[in-house]
Every structure is written in structure tokens, then in C-alpha cells.
Chain A
Amino acid sequence: MAKEFNVPPVVFPSGGNPGSGPQQRRVPTAPFQPPRPANPNLPFMSFDIGSAPPPTSFSAPVFGATGVGIGSSFEDEPPLLEELGINTRQIWRKTISILNPFRANANLHEDADLSGPFIFLIAFGLFQLLAGKIHFGVILGWVTFASFFLYVVFNMLAGRNGNLDLYRCLSLLGYCMLPVVIFSAFSLFIPQGGVVAYSMAAVFVLWSTRVCTCLLVELASCGDEHRGLIAYACFLIYTLFSLLVIF
């Protein structure tokens, strides 16, 4: 036998109207109900924490209505990777071009992007993690500092002709980090501190340096007389990262 409980009627407020945006923002009626922005293309982007309403009544979030409300423009949105600016084919081509240390294809690296370097640095951190060292933050900080250092040195040496900007510097530095990432992968299988480790480090660091210098000199018009000076700066940076791998 069921006792009859006196349940008050639950009222669902009809707050799913995207047209009444400002009014919705000022008089929110339910918790967890984001104020509807005037722009229907960004359904979930604005969450105004400051205007959190007092919990007067509980209602289900009305996202369904939102989806229905802007459903017409959902199929028009570009694919996610394209919207984020990640061109995977270009990244792959750039990566392949780094693998050849004797000929640098500078045209591919004309437009800089940071997603390739990001993947390489995460992979570097993962290989270090496999070796038992947690270096994610260290890698991030050192890459930032090294790119700033290279940016200052390159532009000071190049004088009036230097047109390297920090974004492109960071992109080039990150792409040319690929040999060091490969070295960190190989170093998992060789004994630590042996002669093999040092010689491999030398080979991979020289590879990185050569590719980085070639790309820098071709992309940002520097002039060949500073090639050795730029190469030494790059060499210092990649040796620093190889120290993380060896020791």
C-alpha cells in the first residue's frame, strides 16, 4: 500500500529562447542555465559565473532547446582541425623534410605553426617519462627560454635585415627538435653514460643544429657571414636539451 505524498507540482520554466538573450542574462531563473548569448553560433561558449542565480527552483538544463535553436548552423561549421588551424598533411610534410639533414626545404616552413612542435615536445616528455624522469615543465620552460634567446641573438646579428619573429623562431626550434626526440627514444635502449650515448648525442645534436641553421638562414634573410655564429647558438640550445636525455 502506497502512502499518498503531497508532491508539489514541478514547474519547468520556458527559458530556452535564444532571442531573449539580454533579458535572460539579467533574470536567470534556474541554476546551471547559461545565459544565452546573442550570437547563436557559439552555443556553449559563454558561462557567466557572476550572474549565478539563487537556487529558487530546480529545472533540467535546457540545452536541448538550445541545440534546436541553433541547429541550422551546426552543419555549416568547418571541421575541427581546420578551425583550429592544424593542417596535418603540412605537419607531416614538414616532419619528413627535417629527416634529411643535408638538404633543407625552406618553402615548407614559410608559414609557422605550433602544433607540430607541440606534438614533438609532448612526445619528448613521454619518452623522458618512460626513462623515469618527469620533465614536462622543464621542457616547456627551456623551449620558451631558448626560443627567446635565439630570437634576440638572431635579430641582433642580422641587424636591419632580420625579419625573424618569435612565433616563427619557436616553430623552427620545435620542428628541429625532432632529432633530439628520436635520440630520447633510442636512449631508452642503450646503457646510460656509455660511450654509445655520447656519440649518439653528438650525431643527433649536430643533425638538429645543421637543419636549424639552414632553415634559419634561408627563411629569415640573415646573410651567410653570420652562419657560423647562428650555428653556435643553435648548437648550444640543442646540447642543452640533449643533457636532459643523457643524464
Chain B
Amino acid sequence: MYDSLGTQSGVPRPSLNPQPNPFGNAFYGAGSGLIRGGLGAYGEKILGSSSEYVQSNISRYFSDPQYYFQVNDQYVRNKLKVVLFPFLHRGHWTRITEPVGGRLSYKPPIYDINAPDLYIPLMAFGTYVVLSGFLMGLLGRFSPEALSLQFTWGLGCWFGQVLVLKLMLYTLGSGEAPLLDMVAYGGYAFTGVCVNILGRIIWSFSYYFLMTWTALSMGVFLVKTMKRVLFAEVRSHASSMHNYCLLLLALAQIPLFIFLGWIKA
């Protein structure tokens, strides 16, 4: 059963949490902003004490990365289906909250298909690098330097995507969603890009059709998830401004996919 991660001896901390004991308090899971936001979806926001507010400021930047890796095979399969074919997802898109230690937090990805994870984006990014190396080799332009250039380019695009998502959250809402959530949502784009590159390897003309289709799918996926994130954060739903921004986000996926599909060799 998933419980508090207070005593982790063997797990390496990739130096993301600056405070010495971030898991001793009641905040864990997806960060305090969404904890409060989860309550906000059902009623008024509850403001904690001042020490919790200070701690929430620090844990706002990097929430616990262990939460994002609690995945299993079945979750990965289903999440890939949701990401690549979001219009076929019959269930709801909201994340399930559970009360732990007196606060509400989101369930980990094993129990909730709508929770973001970091395994799929990381693996999709690695697959993107390997597949683009394969494509470069087929085009006769492979070299290790070109592959590292492609790696840096992909990383830069991921960073740009996360920046766009975070900026949108800041302008529309309170911007309290954890950064790693945005990193995860931004990284799901790489699954679509991998499908594009695979299609290009198999038959080069399929690339254009696949690219428009995966870009639109990713647009739909992002719109649906960001709508839930925004709704959880902001009580007053200024609907027209939100909808225009979400539409812009969906349309921005097309140039992003063109950028990512550009083989730098």
C-alpha cells in the first residue's frame, strides 16, 4: 500500500529537494498546490498554518519524484492508449484524490489512469533519440555527434513545452501545480513523435499524415488534462479566456511536432 516515504534509504535522490526532510510532514504525492486544489474542486480553499505555507513554497518547485515512477505494465499500456488515442477514452479525466494524513492528495499512477508519470516521458524521449539515430543511419547521415545534437534538440523542445505549459498556468490560474507534473505532461508529446519517426522509417510518405494526426491527438490530450488542472486551481472559471488559451495550446502542438521531427544531421 502506498504510504508516506519518510524513510528511504536505498533510493537516490537526484538532488531535486532542497530541504533536508521534505517527507516528514503531511505533504507528499503531487504537492501542496494540488492538494489544496483538490479540495477547491469541491468547496472553498483551506489555508494551512504558516509553517505549512512556507514548506509548500519549497515543495512547490519540485515535488517528490518517487510518486511519478509508481507504475506497472498495465498502467503503461493503458496510458499509452490514452495519450495516443485520447478521443477514444471513455472514462472521466479527473484525478482521484484520497485523504492521507489529514490532507487530500492524488492517488499514485498505479491506481489512477489520469495521474501523470515520469516513466513514459523518459522512455519516450530515449526511444525518440534511438529512433532518430536509426533514421539518420537509413538516410546515410549517422554520426555520434549528430545523435547528441538531436538529443540536445529534443531536450530543448521538451523544456520549451514545459515553459509554455507553466506560463499558461501562471497567467490563467495560480500556477501552483507541481513542476514535475508539467514536465510529465510535456514529455507525453514524445510518444507521438516516436510514432511519427517510426512511420517515416517504414514508409516516408506516411510521415505527413501521421504527424498531423498525432499532433492533434496530443492537442486533445493536453486540452483535456490542462482543463482539469486549471479547474482544480481557479475557482472563478473565466471560461472564454481559458478556452482560447487551451485552443492555442492545442494548435501549438503542430509546430512543436514539426520541430521535433526535424532530423538534425
B65 near A156: Cβ-Cβ < 8 Å = yes
Q: Give chain B residues whose Cβ lies under 8 Å from the Cβ of A155.
A: 10-12
Give the CA-CA distance A159 to B123 in the complex, in Å.
18
Interface stretch among A12-20, A53-61, A93-101, A227-235? Answer: A227-235
Q: Which residues of A contact B212 (CB under 8 A)?
A: none
Number of residues of chain B lying within 8 A (CB) of chain A: 32
Provide the residues of chain A in CB contact with B8, threshold 8 Å: 160
Distance in angstroms between the alpha carbons of A152 and B73 in the assembled complex:
18
Q: In whole angstroms, what is the CA distance A111 to B132 when docked?
A: 37
Does B133 contact A240, Cβ atoms closer than 8 Å?
A: yes
- A5 in contact (CB, < 8 A): no
CB <8 Å contact, B144 and A160: no
Q: Of B11, B76, B133, which one neighbours A160 at CB under 8 angstroms?
A: B11
A138 interfacial by beta-carbon distance below 8 Å: yes
Identify A240's interface contact among B9, B68, B73, B130, CB under 8 A.
B130
In the complex formed, the residue of A with least CB distance to B65 is: A156
Among B5, B129, B130, B144, which residue has the most Cβ atoms of chain A within 10 A? B144
- The answer to whether B73 touches A229, judged by C-beta atoms less than 8 angstroms apart, is yes
Q: Given the interface contacts A156-B65, A161-B10, A246-B137, does A225 sit within 8 Å of B126 by beta carbon?
A: no
Interface residue count on the A side (C-beta < 8 Å): 29
Contact of A229 among B5, B7, B71 (CB under 8 A): B71
Chain A residues with CB under 8 A of B56: none
Query: Given A233-B126, A246-B137 in contact, is the A163-B71 Cβ separation under 8 Å?
Result: no
**Which residues between 82 and 130 of chain B lie within 8 Å of chain A, taking CB atoms?**
118-119, 122-123, 126-127, 129-130
* A residues in contact with B137, CB < 8 Å: 243, 246-247
Least distance between A179 CB and chain B CB atoms (Å): 17
Contact between B144 and A152 (Cβ–Cβ < 8 Å)?
no
Residues of A within 8 A of B133 (CB): 240, 243, 247
Which residues from B are CB-within-8-Å of A158? 10-11
Chain A contacts for B123, CB-based, 8 A: 232-233, 236
B interface list, Cβ under 8 A from A: 5, 7-12, 14, 65-66, 68-73, 76, 118-119, 122-123, 126-127, 129-130, 133-134, 136-137, 142, 144, 147
